[in-house]
Amino acid sequence: MAGALAWFRRDLRLDDNAALGRALARSTRVFCAFVFDSEILGALESRADRRVDFIWRSVGELRERLQEAGGDLIVLHGRARDEVPHLAAALGVDEVVAAEDYEPAALARDAEVAERLRASGIGFTAVKDTVVFAKSELLTQGGRPFTVFTPYKNAWLKLVGEAELAQRLAESDLKRLARPPVATRLPELRELGFEPTDLAASGIRPGERGARETLDDFLGRIDGYHAQRDFPALDATSGLAIHNRFGTVSIRRLVRTARSRRTTGTDFWLAELIWRDFFFQVLHHHPRVTQEAFRAEFARIEWPNDEDLFAAWREGRTGYPLVDAALRQLNATGNLHNRLRMVVASFLTKDLLVDWRWGERYFAATLNDFDLAANNGNWQWAASTGCDAQPYFRIFNPVAQSQKFDAQGEYLRRWLPALANVPMKSIHAPWRMSPAEQAACGCVIGHDYPAPVVDHAVQRERALALYKRARP
């Protein structure tokens, strides 16, 4: 073979990298490249985007590691669909290898790249790396895609074995890395049109090294995961989602780690990794979910979509403390605990009666770990429009959720300074305080902290009517 080009995308690591492993196994001269894709970057709303900062830092680390191993990372800035075919032709390789993507826009880009490469006599291979089981590897006994999680999980656990979890890259093959004829530099973040962010203050450590440290820290508390994961005031979950998003950690390594311990904590955590695979296969089999409800009957819901209520939700001023604290944390840091994502998604759709796609879009713009498959799948779960979703008549009570999952109001006080002196008995529903109590604790409702924008009991009935009306 004349050589191969390993095109890094959402697999920004050396460890267990399937695309690089494949290129090194098949070719004696392997170049590596990453493209800051102007089509993706141009669509981002903020110039201070932590995701771009994360990628930029991770690419920098990857480049250093490849250089230490005797290769290099060619870093380009432009339209990937142009840059990759040009680069492959200029390097004279006969194959481009990349990690398989499952998002419709990425698939369209890859199809175009493959076509243009083919016209120059160059092959394009996309290999599975992001998930354990992809596409149709796991089907029901009737040969159909799973739409219910528990049987999917059982089948997943039955099938997973050494073959699926094997290392995809032999370190000894790294000697086949080649240095490009012309070295490229890593553009500054500002040259890409972005500003440095408060990534570190958000508790995020980028790169493969950051992923390893994050995982190591989590292993110290993983055995308590099942008992503690639902409490936002605790630091009980892994914080690895952004690393899963950009492939700074190998999903196979995570699964191997979880399986090697077999405690209740690791079993619960493994189930979350399986949810991740589940939503990837939903997206693969039903790409229409990016536009519409998975369940056809709920595509007919006539959402009132009140713009003012949506703005109150976005800005964390609904008057419901748990919802407001969550949105304020999201806006300030880009991080949000899973329990809170469920609570605010339920509140937006079933209390404020706003289309789940509005919330999905807002999360896509703000979450550090935004991932199309997981975000869409979970929004459809919360809105009861998805496969195996929360039944539409199970509507979270935002006050009860607050009492249950932040009983001491620790999380609420962290994000809502106006509630700092509100007595414990009132912190979850401060509007229930008498005027005298409000004055005494310095939290006058409507002045220091908003009055509830809706009445949960009333909205609950309206939501039920809305869903019932949509059903045949």
Ligand X SMILES: Cc1cc2nc3c(=O)[nH]c(=O)nc-3n(C[C@H](O)[C@H](O)[C@H](O)COP(=O)(O)OP(=O)(O)OC[C@H]3O[C@@H](n4cnc5c(N)ncnc54)[C@H](O)[C@@H]3O)c2cc1C
Catalytic annotation, residues: 272, 275, 303, 338, 356, 379
Alpha helices by DSSP H, listed for 134-198, are 149-159, 162-165
370 lies in the site for ligand X, by CB under 6 A = yes
- Give the shortest CB-239-to-ligand X separation in angstroms: 5
Contact pick of 3, 85, 206, 239 for ligand X (by CB under 6 A): 239
Residues between 205 and 234 that touch ligand X (CB under 6 A) = 229
CA distances from 153 to 135, 160, 276, 304, 389 (A): 15, 10, 11, 36, 15
- Give the shortest CB-333-to-ligand X separation in angstroms: 13
Question: How many CB atoms sit inside 10 A of residue 125's CB?
Answer: 15
Residue matched to tokens 């006080």: 413
341 lies in the site for ligand X, by CB under 6 A = yes
369 lies in the site for ligand X, by CB under 6 A = yes
CA distances from 138 to 35, 80, 281, 431 (A): 32, 31, 9, 50
Of 273 and 463, nearer to ligand X (C-beta) is 273
367 lies in the site for ligand X, by CB under 6 A = yes
CA distances from 14 to 24, 110, 171, 308, 408 (A): 12, 22, 9, 47, 44
Residue matched to tokens 């999903």: 251
Sheet of strand 74-78: strand arrangement: 74-78, 30-37, 4-8, 95-99, 123-127
Residue matched to tokens 């079933």: 350
Question: How many CB atoms sit inside 10 A of residue 205's CB?
Answer: 19
From 105-113, 281-289, 362-370, 384-392, span contacting ligand X (CB under 6 A): 362-370
Rounded to a whole number of angstroms, the CA Rg of the chain reads 24
From 14-22, 258-266, 299-307, 338-346, span contacting ligand X (CB under 6 A): 338-346
Contact pick of 130, 238, 318, 390 for ligand X (by CB under 6 A): 238
342 lies in the site for ligand X, by CB under 6 A = yes
By rule CB under 6 A, what string of x and - marks binding of each residue 268-297 to ligand X?
Answer: -x--xx-xx--x------------------
- Give the shortest CB-406-to-ligand X separation in angstroms: 16
202 lies in the site for ligand X, by CB under 6 A = no
- Give the shortest CB-148-to-ligand X separation in angstroms: 15
Residues at the site binding ligand X, with contacts judged by CB under 6 A? 229, 237-241, 244, 269, 272-273, 275-276, 279, 338, 341-342, 345, 363, 367, 369-371, 374-375, 378-379, 382
